[in-house]
Amino acid sequence: MGIAKKVFDYLDTRYELAPVVEFAQHKEVPRHRFEWAYYFGGFTLFFFIVQVFTGILLLLYYRPTAEAAFESVQFIMTRVQFGWLIRSIHSWSANLMILSAFFHMFSVLFMKSYAKPRELTWWTGCLMLALAFGFGFSGYLLPWNELAFFATRVGTDMVSKVPFVGDWLLHVLRGGEDVTGATLTRFFGIHVAVLPMLMAALLGLHLLFVQRQGIHVPVGLEEESKKRPGMKFFPSFAMREAVVWLIGLAVLAALAAYFPWELGIKADPFASAPAGIKPEWYFLFMFETLKLFPAHVLGIEGELLGLGAFSFLGVFWFLIPVLDRRSARGERSPLFTWIGMAALAYIAGMTILSFLGVFS
Amino acid sequence: MRLADWIERERYLVATALMIGLALPALAQTPERKVTAGGSCLACHLQLDEARLHDPAAAFAEDVHNRPGLGCVTCHGGNPKAEDPEEAMDPKKGFRGAPKIFDIPKLCGGCHANDAFIKKFSPSLDTDQLAQYRTSVHGQRIASGDTRAATCISCHGVHNILKVSDPRAPVFPTHVVDTCARCHADAALMKPYGIPTDQVTKYRRSVHYEALTKRNDLSAPTCNDCHGSHGAAPPGVSSISNVCGTCHLQNMEFFQQSPHAEPFAEMGSGACEACHGNHEIKAPSDRLVGMGKGAVCAGCHDIDDPGGTTAAAIGASLELAVEMDDRAKAEVADAERKGMLMEDADVELEAANEELVKARIQVHKASLQAVVAHTSKAVSAAKKALEAAAAARREIRTRRAGLSVALALILIAIVALVLKIRQIER
Amino acid sequence: MSLEGSSTSRRGFLDWILGTAVGGLAASILYPILRYVLPPKVTEAQTNSVLAAKVGELPPNSGKIFRFGSKPGIVIRTPSGDIRAFTAVCTHLACTVQYRDDFEQIWCACHNGHYDLNGINVAGPPPRPLTPYRVDIKDDEVWVSKEA
């Protein structure tokens, strides 16, 4: 204890930590019957931290070229001690992070926590989800195996449907005509430099906003939360969050043990695409929807229309804090609850149906 | 910098230089090859409109005989120096016109059987074609006055004769079957001779034709490689194994060591052909061996006789080795896909493959011992690969166990933490 | 007193359990990371070159099989003393070839395929030449590498 005190004093005399400590001591989390939803943000953060650490470890051996990428991942999984574990955890944690982010987003949506004055928190969150998709999409290609290669080919091809600049965008994204080693290098740079940098900045802002504004109590639960004393952030909430993180760790360990992430077969750009190429599960609902669109609708290409629809919905989703006037006024807003329910049902439904093989 | 690198980097420059280099000689002379021999014959015939008279002269431009010292006169006679057609084509001065079909072998042989003459043009060219031709069925038919039998020009062409090595020549390996087919696939033409006309169709389904046309292996046999070219005749039954043996050396050698060699020789029966067929030879499969369905041994042997028992045992040992090998391959591939290190197993799989290849040739010895000597090695190599795959699976289980320990630790920590929270908040 | 004591000891026990579990957990996270960071025995993912033989073990007119990853390679010394290396996988049916000093050729036992000292298929069923490797002699060591 002596040393800790000394270190604290050392820092305190220089940075005046007392207000920070004061803040931490008085920070409280409201209690009500949906308080469990408050843990998903931290849960997502946990997986992100795991990603950062395992990602850095993978960087020690990974080589981002078409000739060496697959071999280097194989090398990590076979020759490097515990490489299989690091890689398996990185892959699983990526998926769990996105899953957890979805839960976080929908809980925020249903509690209407995005409403004024927390619009910016919602917006940074939306952007971070987009970044997470970017992480997933770019990272999927890096092992340079057959499935990843063809899924990336299909996925990047969507971009070319964008009016006017589609071909140009496709070129920029792929680093050339087709998915090649150039694409791999590009995706690698995006995955390990561009996205982490943006994510760090947005994450900082997101957390800063939450700290600054405190935690939102949903309409209709104010009474209940007023009746019950708030939960001290330290140590009560923090320890509960620690339990949640441990559960996350347990899930990761169990998945790595019972469903180790496979290596696959090296990508052969000249081979024909194997049957059943699918993107990662979190893109499935979009992927299957686009496939359901007819080839042409009123003379417009079906895929273009689908992409347009998704873009529109994306913008709508992003603008919810502005569109939902009632929540901003602190009133109940059942319409947006229904919209959220519909979106959740659609995403979950399409994903499950796709896994059940309904569309294949 | 290596030359190859430089060429790669400067490929446009190199390509341009090459093109100029190639174009220069073409600019120096007219691009079309000129008829250099032929004198006044060509001067007139190239001007004529009638195709019958014009086309042979035009075709001669590409002909291998289009060189100084040779020309129309060599075959047709006459006087190429004469300006007047009457004088140039005066039969009294030796003009022959189109040679009679019976005269063609002798006409070509006039030069091609003349060693001293041929040496002047092509020192390594054989001069035994005419002699061989006379022994061939074609040659004998012609000698007996049959105008439908093939002569030199039937295969080599007339005025546009090309070297055998010229890919455009009708006698180039890939074209031989079409050339022979012109007559031998013609049922009406072949009717008087009572010989089948389905050889070409059958051959086109064979592994040899596939090797020749799909894999572009020019050494794969076509008609003349077994039947001879100038001495074309069906190979005698007793010579078949020698014909096949020219390429399938070891198979023949092992067959000669087998108990089959003597009886087949006594029966005067084509040995290779008995199992593999002739024109429609398919890639052999392991199912040919044994007493089961599709096996050829059952054609002569009963399951009860010693030969049948041996055949069944050979078939079974091959089958077992292949089965083991396939299983090992599948399991190793699966482990590799899961990200396990299977390098040693790959080496074993290669050894198994090699032993299987060897076992398959040993089949020609018709000796169980000879085959088993290799299949047993294949099986043991496959077993080692299977063991490696099993070890990989065990390794995955070990990892699972290790992670289970960590999992237990996490669960204990969770429980302890929950209790701790309760304790603090009490 | 006894109640308080038992409560204290229970608290102590809980702390001990918690501390041990968290400590064990930290160790089980750090240990794999430490082992991961230590470079493995084979330090490169792709082996582009391999020590095939010592010059001393290759008298003229001899050959030696070596392993290039999981594939065999053959390094030969020609009767005139040159050292050359090729893949040892026969182009016919993937048997491993060998050096025959009586033929002064590379030879495949499976179907009697012959390759000359440049790896060119000269007799028997092999349809293609053997792929040559680059040979570098470093002191007494024969290093063979795939041409990139």
pLDDT at B32: 43
Residue B417 contacts A, CB cutoff 8 Å: yes
pTM, 2 dp: 0.74
Closest of C117, C119, C142 to residue C131, by C-alpha: C119
Q: Would you give the distance in Å from CA B298 to the centre of its chain? A: 30
Strands C83-87 and C105-108: unpaired
Q: How confident is the model at residue C5 (pLDDT cuts 50, 70, 90)?
A: low
pLDDT at B237: 60
Residues of B with CB under 8 A from a CB of C: 215, 217, 247, 249-250, 343-344, 346-347, 350, 353-354, 357-358, 361, 405-406, 409-410, 412-413, 416-417, 419-420, 423
- Distance CA(C45)–CA(C52), nearest Å, equals 19
Q: How confident is the model at residue A222 (pLDDT cuts 50, 70, 90)?
A: confident
Each residue's pLDDT tens digit, A302-320: 888 888 999 999 999 999 9
- Tokens 């014909």 label which residue? B243
Q: Is the dihedral of CA A261, A265, A271, A274 positive or negative?
A: negative
- Integer angstrom CA distances of residue B160 from B170, B186, B236: 10, 24, 34
How many structural domains does chain B have?
1
- Give the residue extent of every domain in chain C: 1-38, 49-145
Closest of B375, B318, B325, B315 to residue B350, by C-alpha: B325
Question: What number of residues does chain B have?
Answer: 426
Each residue's pLDDT tens digit, C62-80: 999 998 877 889 999 999 9
- Is residue A107's pLDDT more than 50? yes
pLDDT at B4: 55
Each residue's pLDDT tens digit, A276-292: 788 889 999 998 898 88
Each residue's pLDDT tens digit, B162-220: 998 899 999 999 999 999 999 999 999 999 988 889 999 999 999 999 989 988 888 88
- Distance CA(B323)–CA(B361), nearest Å, equals 18
Chain C residues touching B374 at Cβ < 8 A: none
- Integer angstrom CA distances of residue B325 from A34, B223, B379, B381, C71: 60, 37, 7, 8, 18
Question: What number of residues does chain C have?
Answer: 148
Nearest C-alpha in B relative to C18: B416
- List Cβ neighbours of A180 (8 Å cut-off, separation of 6 or more): A66, A174, A269
Each residue's pLDDT tens digit, B112-164: 999 888 888 888 888 999 999 999 999 999 999 898 899 999 999 999 899 98
- List Cβ neighbours of B311 (8 Å cut-off, separation of 6 or more): B289, B290, B291, B295, B297, B298, B301, B366
Q: Do B339 and A260 touch (CB under 8 A)?
A: yes
- Tokens 């686009």 label which residue? A290
Q: Do B399 and A260 touch (CB under 8 A)?
A: yes
Chain A residues touching C46 at Cβ < 8 A: 67-68, 71-72
pLDDT at B6: 55
Question: Min CA distance, A247 vs chain C (Å)?
Answer: 13
Under a CB-based contact definition with an 8 Å cutoff, are residues B296 and B274 in contact? yes
- Distance CA(A290)–CA(A311), nearest Å, equals 12
User: Of A342 and C47, which is predicted with more confidence?
Assistant: A342
Chain B residues touching C94 at Cβ < 8 A: 350, 353-354, 357
- Is residue A294's pLDDT more than 90? no
pLDDT at A113: 93
- Is residue A29's pLDDT more than 80? yes
- Alpha-helical (H) ranges within B172-216 are 173-184, 187-190, 199-204, 207-213
Closest in C15, C25, C125 to B413, CB measured: C25
Q: Do C111 and B343 touch (CB under 8 A)?
A: no
Question: Min CA distance, B239 vs chain C (Å)?
Answer: 20
pLDDT at B27: 43
Chain C residues touching B353 at Cβ < 8 A: 93-95
- Is residue A171's pLDDT more than 80? yes
Each residue's pLDDT tens digit, A131-160: 999 999 999 999 999 988 999 998 898 888
Residue B349 lies in a domain: yes
DSSP string across B346-403: HHHHHHHHHHHHHHHHHGGGT-HHHHHHHHHHHHHHHHHHHHHHHHHHHHHHHHHHHH
Q: Is the dihedral of CA A121, A122, A124, A128 positive or negative?
A: positive
Segment holding A43, helix H or strand E: helix A39-59
Closest of B326, B318, B329, B241 to residue B285, by C-alpha: B318
Chain A residues touching C36 at Cβ < 8 A: 57, 60, 80-83, 85-86
Residue B404 contacts A, CB cutoff 8 Å: yes
Average confidence score pLDDT of chain C: 87
- Distance CA(A320)–CA(A153), nearest Å, equals 33
- Distance CA(A120)–CA(A105), nearest Å, equals 14
- Distance CA(B204)–CA(B221), nearest Å, equals 12
Under a CB-based contact definition with an 8 Å cutoff, are residues A158 and A290 in contact? yes
Q: In 3-state terms, what secondary structure has residue C86?
A: strand
Residue B248 lies in a domain: yes
Tally of CB atoms within 10 A around C118: 13
Dihedrals phi, psi of B219, to nearest 5 degrees: -85, -5
Domain region containing B319: 244-387
Under a CB-based contact definition with an 8 Å cutoff, are residues A180 and A66 in contact? yes
Under a CB-based contact definition with an 8 Å cutoff, are residues B278 and B223 in contact? no
Residue A249 contacts B, CB cutoff 8 Å: yes
**Mutation site, A31, A58, A73, A78, interface B, largest B CB count within 10 A:** A78
With contact defined as 3+ CB pairs under 8 Å, the chains touching B are A, C
pLDDT at B314: 94
Average confidence score pLDDT of chain A: 92
Segment holding C52, helix H or strand E: strand C49-54
pLDDT at C125: 83
Q: Do A60 and C32 touch (CB under 8 A)?
A: no
Weakly modelled stretches of chain B, pLDDT under 50? 1, 19, 22-36
What CATH topology corresponds to C49-145? Answer: Rieske Iron-sulfur Protein (2.102.10)
Under a CB-based contact definition with an 8 Å cutoff, are residues A207 and B389 in contact? no
DSSP string across A258-294: HSPPP---B--TTSPPPSS----HHHHHHHHHHHHS-
Tally of CB atoms within 10 A around A266: 16
Q: Do C95 and B250 touch (CB under 8 A)?
A: no
With contact defined as 3+ CB pairs under 8 Å, the chains touching C are A, B
Closest of B175, B139, B170 to residue B155, by C-alpha: B170
Closest in A79, A247, A263 to B338, CB measured: A263
Q: In 3-state terms, what secondary structure has residue A324?
A: coil
- Tokens 């750009």 label which residue? A269
Closest in A239, A258, A263 to B421, CB measured: A239
Q: How confident is the model at residue C1 (pLDDT cuts 50, 70, 90)?
A: very low
Residue B324 lies in a domain: yes
Question: Is C18 exposed, middle or buried, given 0-12, 13-18 or 19+ CB atoms closer than 10 A?
Answer: middle
Under a CB-based contact definition with an 8 Å cutoff, are residues C76 and C88 in contact? no
Residue B99 lies in a domain: no
Structure tokens, C51: 């020590």
- Domains in chain A, please, with CATH? 36-273 (1.20.810.10)
Q: Do A82 and C33 touch (CB under 8 A)?
A: yes
- Dihedral of CA atoms A43, A45, A47, A52 in degrees, nearest 10, equals -170
